[in-house]
Amino acid sequence: MTSIIDAITEYATDSFLYLKTKNFGFCELMYKSAKDTKGNLIGSSGSQPIPVTIPDRNQVSLNDKFNLMTWIRWVEPARFDLSEDWSFGRTESEEGSLTLRIVVAHKVTLGENLIFTFARGLPRKLELAGYKYVFMNGRPQINPDHEGIYRTELGETVYEKHRFPWNLYTIDVTFNFIECIETTP
């Protein structure tokens, strides 16, 4: 399933060559305790979300050297259901469903339309080794709540909307797929 994430990361890299981009690929949120200079826990829960890459555990953070940054998280449990549409003879096919969240951060100076260009260009069908098919189920869901995304993805730090030079969005997409039995262990 990581090949689906790799294909989306490749799209983000190849489609925006005219911008300085940083695409972190597959990430997850980990939590660490944050303390102020006096040793007191910061925030109500005492832990701060930090996106990190998988498997290297490199921290994802916004970097002003880049104009566009992305990372992708797996946000819902993968589902597997029997699919009569793709079953042949006595063999029943199992169709998987994977919901991903693509976090897109871009400089405010690039304008508000970049996110729509990004979402419209996402591949609807993927040709990946080891799969009979992979396709996007439905349309991408764009979340424009910059402040909420900042707190969810980057933690409880000082966020001043009018001084922050980044637009933050999340795009939730669901991909359905059937793995090839012949090539999948």
Q: What count of Cα atoms within 13 Å lies in the side-chain half-sphere of residue 136? A: 19
Q: Which two tokens stand for residue 177?
A: 């797929």
Q: Which two tokens stand for residue 131?
A: 């799969």
Q: What count of Cα atoms within 13 Å lies in the side-chain half-sphere of residue 28? A: 9
Sign of CA dihedral 81, 85, 90, 91: negative
Q: So what's the pLDDT on residue 183?
A: 40
Q: So what's the pLDDT on residue 41?
A: 66
Q: So what's the pLDDT on residue 184?
A: 45
Domains of the chain: 2-179 (3.30.2000.10)
Write the pLDDT tens digit of every residue in 117-157.
999 999 999 888 878 889 999 999 999 998 889 888 887 66
> What are residue 9's phi and psi, to 5 degrees?
-60, -40
pLDDT-derived band at 162, boundaries 50, 70, 90: low
Write the pLDDT tens digit of every residue in 17-37.
999 999 999 999 988 766 667
Q: Which residues of 32-66 are buried (b: 16+ CB within 10 A; e: fewer)?
A: eebeeeeeeeeeeeebbbbbbebeeeeebebeeee
> What are residue 175's phi and psi, to 5 degrees?
-110, 135
Which residue in 184, 177, 71, 181 sits closest to 124, CA to CA?
177
Write the pLDDT tens digit of every residue in 49-97.
889 999 899 999 899 999 999 999 999 888 888 777 766 666 667 788 9
